[in-house]
Amino acid sequence: MRMREHVPSGTQCDRVAARVRMAATQYACALAKYLLRKHTERKVMVQKLQSLESSMSSGRKFFRLGNTVSSIDAARRTLYLTDPVLRFCLTVANLNRALYFICDNVLWARSISLIQDIDKDRWSLNATRYYFYSLVMNLIQDAYMIAQLMVQKSRDGQYRQKVNDHLNESQDTAPVIIPQLDAFLFLLIESLRRHPALALDVLKNACDLFIPLDKLGLYRTNEGVTGLCGLVSSLIGILLVLKPSLKNKP
């Protein structure tokens, strides 16, 4: 049974659009702040960027208050997927996303003094972990879908001929050291080129992954890298709001 596509209402679309615009502004501020960090004459500008970044972060938390229910509903719907790998990856991803939003909502409540007796660092760490697990499962899902596409294309006689033609052309320009690797990369690029929704999903998830990796200390970067990755992810999010047809669907 194919999962029923969830069509968001106009209010939900407006809320999503506002949230991704805030995210884009927040990460643009983080990137600009990093680039201007050594310019002492721009100290006032950096402070304004810091203030705007904090405001956008707080605004995003407010708009995310209803996302826990949406994530649980998404997990319920993915249980009806017939493919066991996609069913497992998407259900686990959505459940972890729901747990992330729960932690995020608790932290937001603490920031406005609705809740006080909680360990902010522990809740923040748990939120980052759940976010990380959700992204990992999404990337596993992407890898699985790419592998399926590549297998299908490798069995297609027309594509096998394209691969052979590509290898022959490569041999004419430069010696191909590992033909199997060259053929694999050709199939990979062709699969992503013909499925832009999947390519955008991979890029968005990969960019998002740098943020929890840095916070968890698994792969240290800097504010510039996380700002740039967050900005790219947010711009893709805006594109998906404007063109829902580009959203990856299992």
pLDDT band at residue 162 using 50, 70 and 90 as cut-offs: low
Residue in the structure block whose two tokens are 């297609």: 156
pLDDT band at residue 109 using 50, 70 and 90 as cut-offs: confident
Q: What is the mean pLDDT of residues 72-77?
A: 91
C-alpha 97, offset from chain centre: 12
Mean pLDDT in residue range 220-248 = 90
User: Which pLDDT score is estimated for 32?
Assistant: 86
pLDDT given for residue 3 in this prediction: 42
Q: What is the pLDDT of residues 14-47, one digit of tens each?
A: 666 777 777 888 888 888 888 887 777 777 887 8
Whole-model pTM?
0.81
Supply the pLDDT for residue 39: 77
State what percent of residues in the chain have pLDDT above 70: 80
What would the mean pLDDT of 166-189 be, rounded to a whole number?
A: 64
> Among 88, 173, 179, 99, which Cα is nearest to 137's?
88
Q: Mean pLDDT, the chain, as a whole number?
A: 82
| Contact residues for 133 (Cβ-Cβ < 8 A; gap 6+) | 92, 93, 96
DSSP assigned state of 5:
P
Provide the angle, in degrees to the nearest 10, between the axes of the packed helices 179-193 and 196-215.
100
The mean per-residue pLDDT over the stretch 144-153 comes to 89
Per-residue pLDDT at 36: 84
Give the per-residue pLDDT at 111.
79
**Can you tell me the distance from the alpha carbon of 53 to that of 247, in angstroms, rounded to the nearest whole number?**
27
The pLDDT value recorded for residue 13 is 59
pLDDT band at 157 (very low <50, low <70, confident <90, very high): low
Interval 57-76 mean pLDDT: 78
pLDDT (tens digit per residue) in 49-58:
888 877 777 6
46: which residues sit within 8 A by CB, 6+ positions away? 33, 36, 37
At 191 the pLDDT is 84
Percentage with pLDDT > 90 across the chain: 36
In the predicted structure, residue 174 carries a pLDDT above the cut 70: no
**Is 213's pLDDT higher than 80?**
yes
**Per-residue pLDDT for 96 more than 90?**
yes
Phi-psi region of 113 (alpha: psi -120 to 50; beta: other; left: phi over 0): left
Contacts with 245 (C-beta within 8 Å, 6 or more apart), sequence order: 197
Predicted local confidence at residue 7, as pLDDT: 44
Would you list the domain boundaries of the chain?
8-63+219-250
